[in-house]
Structure formats: C-alpha cells, structure tokens
Chain A
Amino acid sequence: MKKLSLLISFIALLQIIPNAQAASCSAVMTSESLVGNWCNNTWVNFFWDAYDFDSGDWDNGFGFPNACDTVRPLGRTMNAIYVVNYADGPGSKSTDDFSGSILHWGGNYTMREIDELDARCGDGSKRAHTQWGWQDNWTQLYLPFFYNENVVERAGTLIHESRHADWCGHNGNDGSNMCPAASNSCDESFSDGCSGIGSPSGRGSTGFQALWLWWFTVDADSITGTSTRKAFARDEANRIFNTMFDVNPCINITSSGAVIGTC
C-alpha cells in the first residue's frame, strides 16, 4: 500500500511539474550604430514600460541591465523601437495619434497592439512569433531578429508582429496559387491578408510591413533615413511585393521611390 501511494504521488508529480525548457544559444555579436538620441533614462524607461519589457526576459546575456548596448539584443531592439517610432521625425507625439501615414502612426500601433516583448533563443528558423487570442498574449523575438536583420528590417518586423497582435493571422501560401517565397508568412494579397477568428479585415502583417517600408523609403527623416537605409528599405519592400503574396500585386518601387505597375 505504501509503495502504491508512492507510485501515485510520483505520477501526480509528473503531471503538475511545468515543462520549462531553458535554451542556450550564441551569436556573433557585432556593434551597431545608435540611431538617434535615445540613450537616456527618460526615453528608455518610457519605452521599457510601453512595450511591457521585463528584466527577467532580457537578462542572461540578452542585454539587461544596459539598454544602450547595441551589441546585445536589448540595445538592438531599442534601436528598432526608435526607428519605428521616430522615422517621421524626432519630435514628441501623443500615443493615440493615428493620423497621417503608417510612418507617422506605426510606432503607436506597435505600442497599442503588442502586449509584451520577450527575448528568446528560438531555433533559428523564425525571427519572431506572436501569440494572440483569448490567452496570454506576447511577442517573442529570436536570434535572427537580433543578428540577421538590420535596424530597418527589425522595425519592419515590429510592424509585422503588431499586426499579428491585432489578431491577424496569415492567409497566404495556400491553394493552387502559392507565393513565390513558399513561406507561411505570405499573405493572400497586398490588400487581403488576415484570417482567424476575431481577425480584422484588410491588409495583413506582410502587407503592413511592405507599406511601412515604402513610406520609409520616400518619407523617412534624415536621422533614421540615411541613403543606405532607404536603399535597403526599398529592396526589402520590393522583395515582399515580388515574393510574399499569393496574388502578385504587380508593383515595384523605383530608385526614386516611385511606384510602377509591372504586369
């Protein structure tokens, strides 16, 4: 009977221990220039709170306690947060200002929709993942986000993930007309990209990302929009237009930022 009790206790214990799995990873860490004047207590603490960072998700080498170290993931994320919030200029704005183009309100959108930003190793196949719905909402950022994306691309990724946090799932790479990239991050078309219960209609995460990148190419200010970053934004937007929609949008961006119909 005693042995039976022990066995039952052991089985019960197996059921209730949470399956926590810590991961270890490494990355070749190079430095990145600070974009804008953000390394100060006022700025860092504002956005630390706005995106609901937690020190427990950003320690163990991910950057905490120094938010300004752009060698580490935290500093690189803060750099991207600067770009997405200030690409239209370094002035202040209200967080509920959704006027103008996505370049103006994109940062506010990311703060409104993303519930929390967490750093993780990941398995190398994805740069980020957002969980939404009637459950704990979060956005995890992985190694490719930190070290395979430059600051412009990371800003675009924040826009992308915030659309997911808005309950918009991808609806592409399906049927008989799959996107050229054969990626689960594809949308059906530039104007139709959301699916899932409770999802909004209209443009999806990939469409939002491409839109933001075009606006960056044409309208980013001189601090965020250096000539190299704008050139990259253009190539990244064109990559999305050419490979990430099931229905070809038939548009490309020229070197002067013009939009041409290519079908």
Chain B
Amino acid sequence: MMKATAMLLRMIFVLSTITLSLGCSPNLEGEPDSSKPAPTQSPPLTSADTRDDQIDAGSIAARNEIFKNYKYLDDHLSLMDGFGNDKELEQSLDRLRNKPDIVNEVTTLYDILTRATNAEKHDGYGEARWRIVHLLGELKNPAARKPLFEIATTQLPDPKEVSEVAYKVEFRIRARAIAGLEKLNDVEQLQKIYDENRQLSGLAAASLYELGKPPKGIKLLDGKRVMGLGDPADFKIKEQATARKSMRIPAATRILENLKMVTPVDAVKN
C-alpha cells in the first residue's frame, strides 16, 4: 500500500511537471516568472483561449418605452450621431428652438434617463444623456440656465464606489453642462462653479476664458508646443519577427461599391 501510494505521488509529480512545461496550466498569465517581463496591468478577465463567447441582442423595450413620447428628440440625437450632416442637424435644431416648451421637454427626458440609469444601475444611457445636455446648450435658450447649472453642480460620484465607465460618463456630462452655460454667456454661474468646485474649476476656467473673463492666473498656452505631435518612436527590434511590410492604406474618398454587407476573408496562416 505504501509502495503504491509512493508510486502514485511520483506519477502525479511527473505528469504535473510535463503538463506545466507544455503550457497547459490554466493560470499561465497568473504565474509569475522572474525570467520574463511581466505586464503591469492586472491579469486579463478572460483567457485568450475563450474563443466561443456568444453575444445576443438584449431587449430594447425599456429604451423604446422611454423614447416613445420623445421621438422628435430621438431623431435629433440620431442626427448628432451622424445620420445626416451638420446642415441637417442645424435645421433640426432650428425646428426644436421654435417649440414653445422645448427646454422643459429636454430636461424632462434627461431626468427620465438619469433615473433609469440610477434604478437599473447600468451606463447604457450615458451617450444619450450627454447628447441631451449638449442639446440643452445648443438651444441657446435662457430657460436652460437653471437646469444646466443644476446638472453641472450635481455632485460627482465617488470613483471608488462606481464603475470606471459610470464615473467618466458623469464627468463628461458635467463638462458638457459647463459648455452649455458658456453658450448662454452665463459668466455669473461659471464663476460660481470656478470658485466653489475644485474638480470642475479647470473646465469653468476654460469657458470663462472664451467669454473674455479669464480668472486670475489663467493663461493661454501654445497648444501645439505644449501638446506636441506625439512620438511613435522606432519600431522595436523585438517586434521584427511580426513586422508587416509597408503598404498603402486604401483611400476612402468615394463610394466604390454600394454594399450593405461585406464578409472579410481570414488570411492564410502558415
């Protein structure tokens, strides 16, 4: 019995060694190897071997329910996405500006989407909410001052308590509300945000600068010098083995074919 147990343990040891050396360990990326550079990001969420992921279309019913009374606004949001050009967008904006209670309607839709986001705890309406706030500013209607200020000064969530997506959505919405106040030349409220809200003071300063009222100490910089062109550096020797030969990317200057479907062809791999 002792002899059999010892043999079993020896077999397990040998087989484990063999399989580990073949790279079959399920935690390959989680195992530190001091001889190889380790990526500094957190380990991947799914192994590169999971090629059978499946995605299905979720129900659009909730979204349709929200927008069923606001189709004219949904159409405008589509134009913002690029279904149409800037000229069509401007024409749609003019039509909305002529609606008597438009600020109230846009604000109501924003509130509905915000409540849905908070209730359902997802970020699916982040883009729509940003576009609605953008629209509020574009209307250039004095009645939008109050809702824009309220949106801009609604407290940001604690980034440690929400997802990264949620935090950035909320920050951008406040940035857009501040841009809206700039469109309304609302120096007073922008100054208030600059004075009282440290996280957003830079954004408020940018708007005050454009309105000719830069806060003390704010200065224009040489953008191209400060930002730079960027440095792609040279192609590394370590990547030579996978280097692709130089090619020309195809021009996209005109419609070559009026297609709705194109099936790409996998390259033949050696």
Contact = CB atoms under 8 A, between A and B. Distances in A.
Contacts of A60: 52-55
Contact of A20 (B49, B126, B223): B49
Contacts, number: 397
A251 B62 CA distance: 40
A131 B124 contact: no
B107 to A, nearest CB: 19
Nearest to A34: B82
Contacts of B48: 118, 131, 136, 138, 140
B255 A37 contact: yes
A260 B15 contact: no
A142 interface: yes
A236 B172 contact: yes
Interface in A143-200: 143-144, 147-148, 150, 164, 166-167, 169-171, 180-185, 195-198, 200
B252 A37 contact: yes
Given A42-B250, A66-B261, A135-B36, A254 B45 contact: no
A114 B56 CA distance: 27
Contacts of B218: 260-262
B163 to A, nearest CB: 6
A111 B262 CA distance: 21
B37 A133 contact: yes
A148 B207 contact: no
A147 B58 CA distance: 12
B202 A241 contact: yes
Contact of A33 (B16, B49, B81, B160): B81
Task: Assign chain B's interface to a size class.
Answer: 35 or more
Nearest to B42: A184
Contact of A95 (B59, B202, B217, B246): B246
A262 to B, nearest CB: 4
Interface stretch (B97-105, B146-154, B185-193, B229-237): B229-237
A1 B248 CA distance: 67
B194 to A, nearest CB: 10
A39 B37 CA distance: 40
A23 to B, nearest CB: 5
Interface in B226-269: 226-233, 235-236, 238, 242, 244, 246-257, 259-267
B39 A196 contact: yes
B51 interface: yes
A156 to B, nearest CB: 11
Given A140-B46, A259-B227, A260-B206, A92 B266 contact: no
B250 A43 contact: yes
A50 to B, nearest CB: 7
A202 B206 contact: no
29 contacts: A8-B12, A15-B16, A26-B57, A29-B60, A33-B81, A39-B259, A40-B255, A48-B266, A53-B266, A56-B51, A61-B57, A62-B55, A73-B55, A90-B252, A91-B251, A92-B248, A122-B45, A125-B163, A130-B41, A131-B39, A135-B36, A148-B127, A150-B81, A166-B236, A180-B199, A196-B39, A239-B168, A255-B207, A260-B209
Interface string A1-16: 0001001100110011
Contacts of A166: 233, 236
| Cβ-closest 7 pairs across A and B | A169-B40, A19-B26, A197-B37, A102-B230, A22-B52, A48-B264, A33-B82
A150 B134 contact: no
Given A125-B45, A226-B82, A238-B202, A134 B36 contact: yes
Contact of B41 (A15, A129, A235, A259): A129
A211 B228 contact: yes
Given A21-B46, A48-B267, 8 more contacts: A19-B26, A20-B52, A28-B58, A28-B124, A32-B81, A37-B253, A98-B232, A255-B210
Given A15-B24, A24-B56, A262-B218, A49 B172 contact: no
